[in-house]
Amino acid sequence: MIILKLSVAIDGPAGAGKSTIAKIVAKDLNLMYINTGSMYRAVTLKALEKNISAENVEEVCKLVETLEMHFENDELILNGENVNSKLTMPEISKNVSAFASIKEVRQILVKLQREMSTKYNVIMDGRDIGTVVLKDASYKFFLTASAEERANRRFKELKEKGLDVNYEEILKDIIDRDYKDTHRKVDPLVKASDAIEIDTTGLNINEVVKNIESYIKA
């Protein structure tokens, strides 16, 4: 008898609270949390460290093939190093869309993400989980919030890390990222037709978590 694995897909724009919420749901329901956005940020991190441009697709793909990624306690381990604290730096946020738009890079990472979902009960968040990575996910959610709300969340997050950041610049980056994510040729950000949309503007984390878990438990 084949036992199907439980899979939960959470999509949405940058700063909608996907990662924070997915981590909590994962712990509450004993699921493996896979932050696909972190995986693209990890590629961006290494490419920038090695001065590889997103235009140099061949070199980027060679780089991706050398990366070993897995998650421990919801944090990304890249080639044996916990790089979680580096992945939300402004320089990564500004450049990640360019690398995430590369078709060949997406193909490599999507294959890896799908393999994870066949082995474990998972919850994944990203931009194209419900539409591409886990088309047959048991549950699909699309989280959104106003650009201003998302920029404010990111501003507070970076401030708490002691970084000198400017709200207006973060808001501009969020708006630019939204445009790039929704207009890219390969796997653009779009709500899956069978996804449940939740606007997180004005809601606290626990309210959103409770909403999502009520659907899954039902």
Condensed to tens digits (0 to 9), the pLDDT of residues 86-126 reads: 999 999 999 999 999 999 999 999 998 998 898 889 999 98
Q: Is 44 part of any known ligand binding site?
A: no
Strand order in the sheet with 32-35: 32-35, 122-126, 7-11, 139-144, 196-199
Q: Which helix (H) or strand (E) holds 92?
A: helix 90-100
pLDDT digits (tens, 9 = 90+) for 7-52: 999 999 988 999 899 999 999 999 989 989 899 999 999 999 999 9
Domains, the chain, with CATH or none: 7-211 (3.40.50.300)
Q: Is 162 part of any known ligand binding site?
A: no
pLDDT grade for 133, boundaries at 50, 70 and 90: very high
CA dist 42 → 76, 142, 190, 197 (Å):
8, 23, 23, 28
Q: Is 19 part of any known ligand binding site?
A: yes
Q: Is 37 part of any known ligand binding site?
A: no
Q: Is 12 part of any known ligand binding site?
A: yes
* The pLDDT value given to residue 73: 80
Best CA proximity match to 67, nearest among 55, 77, 75: 77
What is the C-alpha separation between 143 and 200, in angstroms, rounded? 7
Q: Is 16 part of any known ligand binding site?
A: yes
**Termini Cα distance of the chain:** 24
Mean pLDDT across the chain, nearest whole number?
Answer: 92
pLDDT grade for 3, boundaries at 50, 70 and 90: low
Q: Is 90 part of any known ligand binding site?
A: no
* The pLDDT value given to residue 44: 98
* The pLDDT value given to residue 1: 42
Work out whether strand 81-82 and strand 7-11 pair parallel, antiparallel, or are unpaired: unpaired
Q: Residue 4 above 80 pLDDT?
A: no
Q: Is 100 part of any known ligand binding site?
A: no
* The pLDDT value given to residue 112: 86
